[in-house]
Amino acid sequence: MQTNFAPDLLAQPAMQSSESIIRKCVHCGFCTATCPTYVLLGDELDSPRGRIYLMKDMLENERVPTPEVVKHIDRCLSCLSCMTTCPSGVNYMHLVDHARAYIHSHYQRPLVERFYRALLAFVLPHRGRFRAALRLAPLARPFLPVLDKVAALRPLAAMLALAPTGLRPMPSTVSSTVRGAKGRVAMLQGCAEPALRPEFREAAVRLLNRRGFDVTFAAGEGCCGALVHHMGHETAALEAARRNVDAWTREIDAHALDAIIVTTSGCGTTIKDYGFMLREDPDYAAKAQRVSELAKDISEFLDGVGLPQSTGDRPALTVAYHAACSLQHGQHVTDAPKRLLAQAGFAVRTPTEAHLCCGSAGTYNILQPEIAGQLGDRKTANIERLRPDVIVTGNIGCAMQIGQRTALPVVHTVELLDWATGGPVPAALAHLPLKGTLS
Ligand code: SF4
Ligand code: SF4
């Protein structure tokens, strides 16, 4: 695509990066067919190609974003399906991240939108605040049907609908060591996942220990910054990135680390991008790049080091594998989770339209509840058509979004792998009449 950025604009690293991304787009439109919002809405401006035109015009001409442009950019899920499809290597992720930061600094949103965005940025990335909000949720839940009827209150209704009915204690952050360990990894503590489904991390730690790895949690580390990054809060996202880079650098310098393990793929995509996000910061660029290179999704790491020995006495369950967009499109980890589950003895099935987002997408299902709801229903119907015993995914957002729409149990990949190699029955399966054993 031909561009016409003024030389002084190109002196800004973010503009320079976006200009070179836009130039790669050859307008072929292949990406439109795999874009969830285009598939649903059929509007070119809700397709990757249409959004690239909008972002080009906004950035190149330093325009104040109009409500119309913001609407179409806001509707983008950042699912990155377009990047998987694009034959020209357009890095849509870096372009839309820049556009969102530009909108945040150049556009005054209506008061209601500002309120929700500020609320989400204040609560979600902080484990303590998020837990407190989850404790209060049952008090407001009876009002959910009323809130859902008022457009301005629908994001509140979406938040309440996502809150679990019972809260388990947060998982331990004490380092877990094994005799004669073959290596040492740090695990992301995260923000939403341990508050919502602490059993995910517990299973991952047991599995890594059983495979011979010490697991540590870096002091001072917290939310990866993805939630605020996707809302365009660049300063807050970079603060989170620097804080985590510092925490993991202390660990790397004190004792070598084989990997930084991530059990929420949405966070993994962002941590793997820290090197790019902090590329212009001379104090952090090299350290951030080192952290990004060490970051591994738990399934990616286990696929490399191998599973512990299977105990072979688990039921032969049929598993529907839901590929989180952040894992399949953001990190290109596609076969590893399915391969591991098959190795552990589960019959793995993949739903049709596996490339399409479930609508979770960070805070998308709260800020865009209508589109997210349609995508969630469509995804869940495709999964249920497989008639599985259990749904498996590697991202807490997807687990909540799909779990809200089905009676089937939804677990993390590591819970099944842990179970198959000597761990306990996953909590979500504990009530099922489990018959038969793996061969
Ligand atoms: S990131 Fe997803 S929703 Fe956004 S333009 Fe690309 S395919 Fe469409
Ligand atoms: S597939 Fe790639 S090159 Fe083609 S229109 Fe989409 S972003 Fe542009």
User: Is the minimum distance from the CB of 48 to ligand 2 under 6 angstroms?
Assistant: yes
Rg of the chain on CA atoms, in Å: 21
Q: What is the model's pTM?
A: 0.94
pLDDT for the residue numbered 430: 86
Whole-Å CA distances, 305 to 185, 213, 215 = 12, 10, 15
The torsion of the CA quartet 394, 99, 377, 203, rounded to 10 degrees, works out to 10
Among positive and negative, which fits the CA dihedral 9, 13, 14, 20? positive
168 within some domain? no
Residue 188 lies in a domain: no
Q: Considering the domain boundaries, does residue 54 fall inside one?
A: yes
49 CA distance to ligand 2 centroid (A)?
6
Instruction: Kindly give the parts of the chain with pLDDT less than 50.
Output: 436-439
> Please, where are the H alpha helices in 231-368?
234-254, 265-271, 274-277, 285-294, 298-305, 325, 336-343, 364-367
Cα–Cα distance, 231 to 251 (Å, whole number): 30
* DSSP structure string for 95-111: HHHHHHHHHHHH----H
Concatenated DSSP letters of 211-255: TTEEEE--TT----SHHHHTTT-HHHHHHHHHHHHHHHHHHHHHS
Q: Is residue 64 part of a domain?
A: yes
Task: Pick the last residue of a domain from 77, 106, 135.
Answer: 106
Contact 227, 362 (CB under 8 A): yes
Domain end point (choices 85, 106, 127)? 106
Closest atom of ligand 2 relative to the 89 alpha carbon: 2
- Residue identified by tokens 């397709």 is 47
Specify the DSSP class assigned to residue 327: I
Q: Which atom of ligand 2 is nearest to the CA of 85?
A: 1
* Residue 132, domain member (yes or no): no
Last residue of a domain, one of 106, 134, 159: 106
Q: What is the pLDDT of residues 146-205, one digit of tens each?
A: 888 888 888 888 888 888 887 888 888 888 888 889 999 999 998 889 889 999 999 999
Atom index in ligand 1 nearest the CA of residue 81 equals: 7
Query: From atom 6 of ligand 1, which residue's Cα is the shortest distance away?
Result: 82
DSSP 8-state code for residue 176? B
> Where are the extended beta strands (E) located within 311-421?
318-321, 347-349, 390-393, 410-412
Full domain range(s) for residue 26: 7-106
Dist. CA 332 → ligand 1 center (Å)? 16
In a domain, residue 78? The reply is yes
CB of 346 within 8 A of CB of 436?
Answer: no
CATH number at residue 35: 1.10.1060.10
Indicate if ligand 2 lies below 6 Å from the C-beta of 83. no
Instruction: Please give the Cα distance from 357 to 305 (Å, whole number).
Output: 29
Residue 122 in domain: no
Q: What is the pLDDT of residue 439?
A: 39
Distance set, CA 92 to CA 20, 32, 310, 424 (Å): 11, 13, 41, 41
Select from 173, 179, 250 the least CA-distant residue to 216: 173
| d(CA 316, ligand 2 centre) in Å | 43
Q: Which two tokens stand for residue 425?
A: 């029955």
pLDDT value at position 219? 94
Total tally of structural domains belonging to the chain = 2
Å from CA of 55 to ligand 2 middle: 14
Domain annotation covers residue 406: yes
Residue 263 · residue 294 · CB < 8 Å: no
How far apart CA 116 and CA 122 sit, in angstroms, is 10
Give the number of whichever ligand sits closest to the CA of residue 24.
2
| Dist. CA 238 → ligand 1 center (Å) | 23
Closest residue CA from atom 6 of ligand 2 = 31
Distance 169 CA to ligand 2 centre (A): 46
Q: What is the CATH number of the domain that holds 329?
A: 3.40.50.1860
Q: Which numbered ligand comes closest to the C-alpha of 25?
A: 2
Residues paired with 392 in a beta bridge: 321, 411
Angle at CA of residue 80, ends 26 and 52, nearest 5°? 40
Q: Which helix (H) or strand (E) holds 162?
A: helix 154-162
Residues 389, 432 contacting (CB under 8 angstroms)? yes
AA identity, residue 40: L
> Which ligand sits closest to the CA of 96?
1
16 lines ligand 2 (CB under 6 A): no
CB 47 within 8 A of CB 38: yes
Calculate the dihedral angle through the C-alpha atoms of 197, 200, 201, 202, rounding to the nearest 10 degrees. 100
Nearest CA among 319, 379, 312 for reference residue 348: 319
Residue 49's identity, in one-letter code, is: R
For ligand 2, the distance from its centroid to the CA atom of residue 285, given in whole angstroms, is 30
pLDDT at 167: 82
In this prediction, residue 281 carries a pLDDT of 97
What is the rounded distance in angstroms from the CA atom of residue 387 to the CA atom of residue 23?
45
Q: Taking each helix axis from N to C terminus, what angle separates 67-74 and 48-60, rounded to the nearest 10 degrees?
A: 140
Residues with CB under 6 A from ligand 1: 35-37, 48, 51, 76-82, 92
